[in-house]
């Protein structure tokens, strides 16, 4: 191999890669257009091959070190830079993307809330009209504890907070994912989950109200419920969004409508997960803590809910 001729032929690629890298190092990977990013990746592979050939042909330490420095810089910017871009995209999504998706899908979320409230209202009405109705939706052991022993059950969490918190997170995530997946049953299972959870909350709320334990019960619910319930409503909205695509695809083919709605539903799921992790932590460590006054728990719950409402109403500046 004629070393000088090979260097002269390949040097233009090395210089071009160096030029692109200087721009990326000064302004970041996002300063390059898509075609330039593809060119950067192609040049990196080409120069890496040149480095391997230079080592084989023993063209000289100076050139080898120069090519090695060039490939190292390219590797850092392409792979580490892309990771930075991914993290920036995640931050951007939670900063502006999720509120925008919530606003776009609020009609479906509101429908999920309405189904939940319908279940709660039915449970409240029938529990007052027919005492036997309570046993149909609330576990008998819980009814006995509240009516006969006149105490709540949250004290069982104290002492096993990490385990309880993990179990709560897993359970809530399971319910939420089931509500989303229920959209594939034309929304029937999603509606069932929303109504059933409403029935359960309505039944338990009526039970503690009938036994003068409403104040400490809702003090327990408010802190984590301010995030947990909205997360479940978001999941219900995502499921109903999928159901709408199946039942009423509109001008799209059903498959295309599912893709569009599925994209929004997945984004809602990305918002649900951190909400339920935070809610589970609060429910395990904060809500049942007997050392925290009930007034503080109410304030914490209302504060978190107000922050969530403000967050979901954010508008990205133009």
Q: What is the pLDDT of residues 134-177, one digit of tens each?
A: 888 888 888 888 888 888 877 666 666 676 677 778 888 999 99
Instruction: Assess whether 267 and 132 both reside in one domain.
Output: yes
Confidence of residue 90 (pLDDT cuts 50, 70, 90): confident
Instruction: Assess whether 74 and 160 both reside in one domain.
Output: no
Instruction: Assess whether 48 and 163 both reside in one domain.
Output: no
Domain boundary among 38, 59, 91: 91
Rounded to an integer, what distance in angstroms lies between the CA atom of residue 88 and that of residue 90?
A: 5
On whether residue 317 sits in a domain, the answer given is no
The arithmetic mean of pLDDT across residues 231-244, rounded, is 96
* Region of poorest pLDDT, from 36-50, 212-226, 228-242, 254-268: 36-50
Going from the C-alpha of 90 to that of each of 84, 129, 240, 278, the distances in angstroms are 10, 50, 25, 18
Whether 68 has a pLDDT exceeding 80, the answer reads yes
Instruction: Assess whether 197 and 272 both reside in one domain.
Output: yes
Instruction: Assess whether 17 and 165 both reside in one domain.
Output: no
The arithmetic mean of pLDDT across residues 102-111, rounded, is 96
Instruction: Assess whether 122 and 78 both reside in one domain.
Output: no
Instruction: Assess whether 8 and 46 both reside in one domain.
Output: yes
Instruction: Assess whether 83 and 190 both reside in one domain.
Output: no
Instruction: Assess whether 268 and 217 both reside in one domain.
Output: yes
The arithmetic mean of pLDDT across residues 57-83, rounded, is 77
On whether residue 85 sits in a domain, the answer given is yes
**In the block, which residue shows the tokens 């499921």?**
239
Q: What is the pLDDT of residue 269?
A: 94
Rounded to an integer, what distance in angstroms lies between the CA atom of residue 39 and that of residue 20?
A: 9
Domain that holds residue 87: 3-91
What is the average pLDDT score of the chain? 88
On whether residue 206 sits in a domain, the answer given is yes
Instruction: Assess whether 229 and 135 both reside in one domain.
Output: yes
Instruction: Assess whether 189 and 289 both reside in one domain.
Output: yes
> Can you list the pairs that 76-81 forms with residues at least 24 positions away whose Cβ atoms lie under 8 Å?
77/21, 77/24, 77/25, 77/29, 77/40, 78/40, 78/41, 78/44, 81/24, 81/28, 81/29
Whether 85 has a pLDDT exceeding 70, the answer reads no
Which percentage of the chain shows pLDDT scores above 90?
Answer: 47
* Region of poorest pLDDT, from 166-170, 199-203, 255-259: 166-170
pTM: 0.75
Whether 82 has a pLDDT exceeding 60, the answer reads no
On whether residue 253 sits in a domain, the answer given is yes
Q: What is the pLDDT of residue 181?
A: 95
134 against 225, higher pLDDT: 225
Domain boundary among 37, 65, 91: 91
The arithmetic mean of pLDDT across residues 60-89, rounded, is 75
What total number of domains does the chain contain?
Answer: 2
On whether residue 96 sits in a domain, the answer given is no
Domain boundary among 47, 64, 91: 91
Residue 102 neighbours by CB under 8 Å, 6+ apart: 109, 234, 268, 271, 312
Rg of the chain on CA atoms, in Å: 29
The arithmetic mean of pLDDT across residues 78-100, rounded, is 76
> Residue 113: CA atoms inside 13 Å, Cβ hemisphere, count?
11
Whether 180 has a pLDDT exceeding 60, the answer reads yes
* Region of poorest pLDDT, from 28-32, 114-118, 137-141, 296-300: 28-32
């Amino acid at each position: 191999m004629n070393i000088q001729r090979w260097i002269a032929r390949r040097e233009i690629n090395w210089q071009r890669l160096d030029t692109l890298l200087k721009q990326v190092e000064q302004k970041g990977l996002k300063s390059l257009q898509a075609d330039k990013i593809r060119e950067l990746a192609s040049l990196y592979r080409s120069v890496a091959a040149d480095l391997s050939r230079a080592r084989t042909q023993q063209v000289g330490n100076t050139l080898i070190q120069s090519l090695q420095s060039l490939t190292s810089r390219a590797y850092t910017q392409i792979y580490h830079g892309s990771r930075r871009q991914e993290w920036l995209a995640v931050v951007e999504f939670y900063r502006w993307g999720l509120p925008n998706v919530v606003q776009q899908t609020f009609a479906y979320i509101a429908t999920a809330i309405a189904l939940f409230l319908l279940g709660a209202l039915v449970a409240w009405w029938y529990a007052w009209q027919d005492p036997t109705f309570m046993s149909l939706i609330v576990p008998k052991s819980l009814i006995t504890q509240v009516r006969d022993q006149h105490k709540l059950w949250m004290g069982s969490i104290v002492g096993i907070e990490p385990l309880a918190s993990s179990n709560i997170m897993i359970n809530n995530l399971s319910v939420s994912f089931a509500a989303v997946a229920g959209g594939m049953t034309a929304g029937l299972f999603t509606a069932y989950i929303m109504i059933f959870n409403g029935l359960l909350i309505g039944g338990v709320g009526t039970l503690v109200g009938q036994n003068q334990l409403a104040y400490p019960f809702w003090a327990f619910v408010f802190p984590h419920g301010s995030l947990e319930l909205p997360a479940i409503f978001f999941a219900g909205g995502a499921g109903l969004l999928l159901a709408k695509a199946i039942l009423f695809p509109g001008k799209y083919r059903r498959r295309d409508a599912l893709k569009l709605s599925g994209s929004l539903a997945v984004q809602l799921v990305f918002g649900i997960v951190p909400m339920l992790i935070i809610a589970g932590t609060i429910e395990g460590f904060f809500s049942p803590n007997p050392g925290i006054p009930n007034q503080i728990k109410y304030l914490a719950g209302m504060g978190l809910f107000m922050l969530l409402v403000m967050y979901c109403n954010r508008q990205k500046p133009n």
